Amino acid sequence: MLSEKKMVQGLPKIKLPNEVCDMCCTGKQARNSYNATIPFNATKKLEVIHSDVCGPFEVKSVGGNRYFVIFIDEFTRNLWIYLLAKKGEVFGVFKKFKLLVQNESGEVISRLRTDGGGEYTSTKFNDFCSSNDINHEVIAPYTPQHNGISEWKNRTLVNMIRSMLKQKQMPHYLWGKAAATAAYLINRGPTKKLQDKTPEEAWRGVKPSVQHLKIFDSLCFKHVPDQLRRKLDDKSQVMIMVGYHSTGAYKLYDPNNKKMMFSKDVKFDETKCWNWKDKTSNEFDSHLYLSDSDTEEVETEEKEEIVEDTNEGDA
In percent, how much of the chain has pLDDT > 90? 58
- Cβ neighbors of 125 (< 8 A, separation 6 or more) are 90, 91, 94, 119, 136
pLDDT at res. 310? 34
Q: What letter represents residue 33's amino acid?
A: S
How far apart CA 47 and CA 310 sit, in angstroms, is: 46
Confirm whether pTM is higher than 0.85.
no
User: Mean pLDDT throughout 226-252?
Assistant: 86
Q: How many CA atoms lie within 13 A of 181 on its CB side?
A: 24
Tell me which CATH code domain 43-204 carries: 3.30.420.10
For the stretch 258-264, contacts whose Cβ atoms lie closer than 8 Å and that sit 24 or more positions apart, written own/partner, are 258/62, 260/62, 261/222, 263/222, 263/223
pLDDT at res. 76? 96
Query: What pLDDT digit, counting tens, does each position of 60-106 carry?
Result: 999 999 999 999 999 999 999 999 999 999 999 999 999 999 999 99
Least confident of 82-86, 151-155, 234-238: 234-238
Does residue 274 sit in helix, strand or coil? strand
pLDDT at res. 304? 38
pLDDT at res. 228? 73
Least confident of 31-35, 140-144, 201-205, 210-214: 31-35
pLDDT at res. 292? 55
Query: What pLDDT digit, counting tens, does each position of 174-216 carry?
Result: 999 999 999 999 999 999 889 899 999 999 999 999 999 999 9
Q: Would the pLDDT of 244 be above 90?
A: yes
What are the boundaries of each domain within the chain? Answer: 43-204, 218-314
How far apart CA 253 and CA 181 sit, in angstroms, is: 13
Query: What pLDDT digit, counting tens, does each position of 255-305 carry?
Result: 988 899 999 999 999 988 888 876 654 444 444 566 555 544 444 444 433
